[in-house]
Chains A and B, each alone.
Chain A
Amino acid sequence: MVQSLEKGSVRQIETSSIVYDTQKLNLWYGNHHALKNIDLQIKENEVTAIIGPSGCGKSTYIKTLNRMVELVPTVKTSGEILYRERNIFDANYGVEELRTKVGMVFQKPNPFPKSIYDNIAYGPRIHGIKNKKILDEIVEKSLRGAAIWDEVKDRLTTNAYSLSGGQQQRICIARCLAIEPDVILMDEPTSALDPISTLKVEELIQELKVDYSIIIVTHNMQQAARISDKTAFFLNGEVVEFDKTDVIFSTPEDKRTEDYISGRFG
């Protein structure tokens, strides 16, 4: 395992364990060149953290992975992102199909204004699961998976907005788990949460790693150091450095990485 993580050798070794292979990805918002020649390989069942100062393109990159970035009408891309060896920009690769495989948790908790139960059951329902018994099971399993079952099991019919921010975010994670995706993208999932809720979500990410590949954007470097296996440092739309997290945080190769993680800018 260890040698496969070394820089440069990743691509040659067992491609099956690579979830996302980004090749020469460029992205523009109108004339603004937001992502420049990104090359990044993300392995399965790992937590990959993406760090960098505001405006460095880290959120843009993670939103490109499930093509949510295309909601901005002026976006143009070039290059390839292979998800499980298939280019997600292929004309016949439906975004719905991709997003069913790749779940996402957002910066601000965004549950639907529905009951807790309906929030979790939403994904399975739109994908055709109607059997009440199966849905019940999925809801319980997902809520347990998101470590919130005990807090909400007695009030599944109440509106999700009656919960606290931290609980709402775990509901959103549970909603994501309900369709058992392959990858979970997390875009600064704890930035709107208090420290205790943050801790809970971080613990949860550690548990989810066993079954899911997780890519998390964070501007909290301690968080990246605590929870991730690999860290990519983005700066001005480029990947400055991508390596094992302990390497990035102890002996970074690039001067800019060192400056950033030691708090000299950003």
Chain B
Amino acid sequence: MGSSCYSFLAFGKGGFTVGQKAEKLSVQELIQKSSGKKQKKLIEKMIPIILLLIASVSVLTTFGIVGTLIVETVIFFNDVKITDFLFGTEWYPFGNTEQLFGILPLVAGTLKVTGIAVVVAVPFGIASAIFLSEYATDKTRRIIKPILEVLAGVPTIVYGFFALTFVTPLLQQFIPGLKIFNALSPGIVVGVMILPMIASLSEDAMSSVPNSIREGALAMGSTKLEVALRVVLPAALSGIMASVVLAVSRAIGETMIVSLAGGSTPKFDLDVTESIQTMTAYIVQVSSGDAGYGTTIYYSIYAVGFTLFLFTLLMNYLAHVISKKYREEY
């Protein structure tokens, strides 16, 4: 229909002259002329299949990863008793005479960092979300939200250096016993890293609470703070919880910051001022180090990776359950 020339003649149905032909066609006739092509029907049939194939790439990849993890983990458990792995409180894989593979020190390292991150990120993130959604003018929001999102886009290696070369020395001013490598500094920085995620997603959840509900509360004589804390926050709780859980899952899996600033001394205790090692940092250490293929140490990273995977899976499941349970309909 490239060179077709449609000339508008009069109101009412029909009256379009197409091309050089003298006949005048109605719109319905024009539609009939251009539809019914076999090609179009074929494409329509193919589209779902093509889309399914594309979608299955990521699903298959997931299965592939989980499959590899499981296979290699099983090999690891040929060498190490599963109970030693799960309940052992010492992680000492590089010993010449005796190797110890108790995961708890690595889990402790991960949980210390995650815990500190949550303590930093949740109050600040939710407070920022309340400010952005309930108090900030449109103009302020338009400026602050992109900045927050930029913060989320900073490469984690940069955060890692920031933790090691800025936060740790700063903290040492106040906490004399703080080691160069510790849990506190990367914990705080991981908290800063996940803060924009919590703030942004929680702000989305709070902004989607209808204004009519706010008006209802204001008309009862509520102050702005009462509206925010007692009406909007509970109404958006499912979204906020989901954002927190997602952020926690991100903190658990965080690697670069803890590798750089956390150290590499797995310890099963609650001390945050000493060097630690997280599950992710251990994997980095072994992967970039000289552990030979096929050694127990080599397989141990799969076992640790699998444990990590279970943690994040649990968190995602939790997010799912929470957002279902707390969903307040409006």
Q: Which residues of A contact B (CB under 8 A)?
A: 66, 68, 71, 95-100, 103-104, 106, 108, 110-114, 122-123, 125-127, 159, 161, 172, 175-176, 179
Partner of A110, one of B213, B221, B222, B329: B213
Interface residues of B in 181-225 (CB under 8 A from A): 210, 212-213, 215-223
- The reply to whether B217 and A122 contact each other, CB–CB distance below 8 Å, is yes
- The reply to whether A112 and B221 contact each other, CB–CB distance below 8 Å, is no
| Chain A residues near B217 (CB-CB < 8 A) | 112, 122
- The reply to whether B218 and A71 contact each other, CB–CB distance below 8 Å, is yes
| Chain B residues near A71 (CB-CB < 8 A) | 215, 218
- The reply to whether A106 and B216 contact each other, CB–CB distance below 8 Å, is yes
| Chain B residues near A123 (CB-CB < 8 A) | 220-221
- The reply to whether A110 and B216 contact each other, CB–CB distance below 8 Å, is yes
Minimal beta-carbon separation of A96 from chain B (angstroms)? 5
- The reply to whether A103 and B220 contact each other, CB–CB distance below 8 Å, is yes
- The reply to whether B328 and A99 contact each other, CB–CB distance below 8 Å, is no
- The reply to whether B213 and A112 contact each other, CB–CB distance below 8 Å, is yes
- The reply to whether A179 and B234 contact each other, CB–CB distance below 8 Å, is no
- The reply to whether A161 and B215 contact each other, CB–CB distance below 8 Å, is no
- The reply to whether A113 and B329 contact each other, CB–CB distance below 8 Å, is yes
- The reply to whether A126 and B235 contact each other, CB–CB distance below 8 Å, is no
- The reply to whether B328 and A114 contact each other, CB–CB distance below 8 Å, is yes
Minimal beta-carbon separation of B158 from chain A (angstroms)? 39
Complex CA–CA separation, A20 to B176 (angstroms): 67
Minimal beta-carbon separation of B232 from chain A (angstroms)? 10
Main secondary structure on chain B at its contact with chain A? helix
Complex CA–CA separation, A175 to B222 (angstroms): 13
B226 at the interface (CB under 8 A from A): yes
- The reply to whether B328 and A103 contact each other, CB–CB distance below 8 Å, is no
Partner of B223, one of A68, A96, A112, A175: A96
Given contacts A110-B210, A159-B328, is CB(A99)–CB(B215) below 8 Å? no
- The reply to whether B220 and A126 contact each other, CB–CB distance below 8 Å, is yes
- The reply to whether A126 and B213 contact each other, CB–CB distance below 8 Å, is no
- The reply to whether A99 and B219 contact each other, CB–CB distance below 8 Å, is yes
Complex CA–CA separation, A66 to B231 (angstroms): 20
Minimal beta-carbon separation of A92 from chain B (angstroms)? 16
Main secondary structure on chain A at its contact with chain B? helix
Q: A110-B212, A113-B213 are in contact. List 18 more A-B contacts (CB 8 A).
A: A71-B215, A96-B221, A99-B218, A100-B220, A100-B221, A106-B212, A106-B219, A108-B212, A110-B210, A110-B215, A112-B235, A114-B234, A114-B328, A125-B230, A126-B230, A172-B216, A175-B216, A179-B221
Q: Mark B286-330, 1 if CB is under 8 A from A, else 0.
A: 000000000000000000000000000000000000000000111
Complex CA–CA separation, A263 to B234 (angstroms): 46
- The reply to whether A122 and B219 contact each other, CB–CB distance below 8 Å, is no
| Chain B residues near A175 (CB-CB < 8 A) | 216, 220
Interface centre among A71, A112, A159 (most CB of B within 10 A): A112
- The reply to whether B329 and A112 contact each other, CB–CB distance below 8 Å, is no
Minimal beta-carbon separation of A184 from chain B (angstroms)? 10
- The reply to whether B213 and A96 contact each other, CB–CB distance below 8 Å, is no
Complex CA–CA separation, A172 to B216 (angstroms): 8
Complex CA–CA separation, A161 to B216 (angstroms): 14
- The reply to whether B212 and A161 contact each other, CB–CB distance below 8 Å, is no
Give 19 CB contacts A-B under 8 Å.
A66-B219, A71-B218, A96-B221, A99-B220, A103-B220, A112-B216, A112-B217, A113-B234, A113-B235, A113-B328, A122-B230, A123-B221, A125-B230, A126-B220, A126-B221, A126-B222, A126-B230, A159-B328, A175-B220
- 7 closest A-B pairs (Cβ-Cβ)? A100-B221, A113-B328, A104-B219, A99-B221, A110-B212, A110-B216, A113-B330
Minimal beta-carbon separation of A214 from chain B (angstroms)? 15
Interface residues of B in 215-250 (CB under 8 A from A): 215-223, 226, 230-231, 234-235
Complex CA–CA separation, A149 to B219 (angstroms): 23
- The reply to whether B234 and A97 contact each other, CB–CB distance below 8 Å, is no
Partner of B219, one of A103, A125, A127: A103
Closest Cβ neighbor of A118 among chain B residues: B234
Minimal beta-carbon separation of B11 from chain A (angstroms)? 30
Complex CA–CA separation, A125 to B221 (angstroms): 11
| Chain B residues near A95 (CB-CB < 8 A) | 221
Complex CA–CA separation, A112 to B216 (angstroms): 8
- The reply to whether A112 and B231 contact each other, CB–CB distance below 8 Å, is yes
Closest Cβ neighbor of A66 among chain B residues: B219
Complex CA–CA separation, A110 to B219 (angstroms): 11
| Chain A residues near B223 (CB-CB < 8 A) | 96
| Chain A residues near B231 (CB-CB < 8 A) | 112, 122
| Chain A residues near B213 (CB-CB < 8 A) | 110, 112-113
- The reply to whether A159 and B216 contact each other, CB–CB distance below 8 Å, is no
Partner of A126, one of B219, B226, B329: B226
